[in-house]
Amino acid sequence: MRLLVVGGAGFIGSHLVDRLVVEGHTVDVVDDLSTGSLANLASARALGGALKIHHLDACAPEFASLVAMREPEAIYHLGWCPPGRGDASTSARAVHSTLHVLEAARQHDVGKVVTAVPATALYGDVPARELPVKEGRESVPSGADGVVARAVVELLSVYRTRHDVEFTALALSCVYGTRQRPDGGVVAAFADALAQGTTAQLHGDGRQARDFVFIDDVVDAFVRASRRGSGLVVNVGTGVLTSVRDLWRLMAGPAAPAPQVAPARPDDVQRLSLALTRARIHLAWAPWTDLEAGLASLRA
C-alpha cells in the first residue's frame, strides 16, 4: 500500500512508520518538525525501504498538491494533537489541520483517514461503576482539549456521510514507550527524571489512575485500522487501571524518594480505563504487553 503519515516524525508516528516500512509499504511522512524530530526516523531510514520525508505543515496549501501527486490509499493523521501543548492556538490548529487532511482526502479520492484522539479528553471523568468505559457512552469532554477531540470526531463523521471519506478514530489511553518526549506523558516524565537523577514531579495526590498501553501494541492497532473499523471510534488501551503513585513505585523501586508534589492540572481526569470489546471485534486487536514488561523495555 501507499500510505501517508502526517506527524510521522513524532513519538507514535515514527514507530508507526517503522512498522509500515518493515511491512514493505510505500510511506510518505509529512511533518513540520515543531514537536517531532528527524532522529525519530533514523531506524526507518536505515531500513532502506520506500520512504520519503516531507518537511511540510499539513495546513499549508502544498499539502493537497502532495496528496494529489503521491496518491496514498490511506492517510494517518497524527499531527493534530502535539504532546504538552494545550493552548488555544494549538486547539484551533487541531481543527484546521483535520479539515485540511479531510479536504485533501475528499478531493483526491483517498480511501481512508485514520486518526487518534486522547481518550481522557474525549470521555472526561467517568463514574467508577462505568469503567472500563465503552465507546457508546455519551462523552463529557474534559476542558477545551475534550471539545476539540469531540469536534475532530464530528468532522470525520460529516465527511464520511457527505463525501464518502472513510475513517477510523482510535481513542487512545495513556501511550508510553521509547522516543516519547518528557512532556508527552507521565511515564516519559518519570523516566526522564530517573535518567537525569532529578526529582520527579507529581501533579495532584498521585491517586489519579490511568490505563497505560505500550507503543508497539498501539502501532498494531493503527496498522489494522487502515483496513478495518470503518466509521467507528475504537478504544485502544488495556482496560487495566494503575495509579500514578503505583507507576512511580514500579519505575523507581520502593526505596526511591517520593516525587515532588505539584498542583493538580486543570481538567485532570481522576481515573479512566477503556473497554476493548469493539477493538477485538472490529480490529481483531488486543494488547499483549503488560505494564511491567513495557516499562522494562524502556530500561533496556
Q: What is the residue extent of each domain of the chain?
A: 2-173+226-237
Find the helix packing angle between 143-163 and 88-107, rounded to 10°: 10
Residue 140: the pLDDT is 73
Query: What are the beta bridge partners of residue 113?
Result: 75, 167
Q: How far apart are the C-alpha atoms of 156 and 73, rounded to whole Å?
A: 17
Helix ranges (H only) for 73-214 are 88-107, 119-123, 143-163, 186-196
102, burial (CB in 10 Å: exposed 0-12, middle 13-18, buried 19+): buried
Find the helix packing angle between 291-299 and 244-252, rounded to 10°: 50
Q: How far apart are the C-alpha atoms of 51 and 49, rounded to whole Å?
A: 6
245, burial (CB in 10 Å: exposed 0-12, middle 13-18, buried 19+): middle
Tell me how far the alpha carbon of residue 240 is from its chain's centroid: 18
First to last CA, the chain: 33
| No. of helices (H) and no. of strands (E), the chain | 11, 13
**Cα atoms in the 13 Å half-sphere on the side-chain side of 12:** 32
Retrieve residue 114's grid coordinates. 485514520
pTM, two decimals, is: 0.95
CA angle at 216 for the pair 222 and 72, rounded to the nearest 5°: 30
Query: What are the beta bridge partners of residue 175?
Result: 213
Residue 83: the pLDDT is 56
Residue-wise pLDDT tens for the chain (300 aa)? 999 999 999 999 999 999 999 999 999 999 999 889 999 999 999 988 899 999 999 999 999 999 999 999 999 999 766 655 555 566 677 888 999 999 999 999 999 999 999 999 899 989 999 999 999 887 776 678 888 889 999 999 999 999 999 999 999 999 999 999 999 999 999 999 999 998 898 888 889 999 999 999 999 999 999 999 999 999 999 999 999 999 999 999 887 788 888 888 877 889 999 999 999 999 999 999 999 999 999 986
- Class in CATH terms, 2-173+226-237: alpha beta
Residue 255: the pLDDT is 76
Q: How far apart are the C-alpha atoms of 107 and 166, rounded to whole Å?
A: 13
E strand or H helix that includes residue 296: helix 291-299
DSSP character at residue 259: P
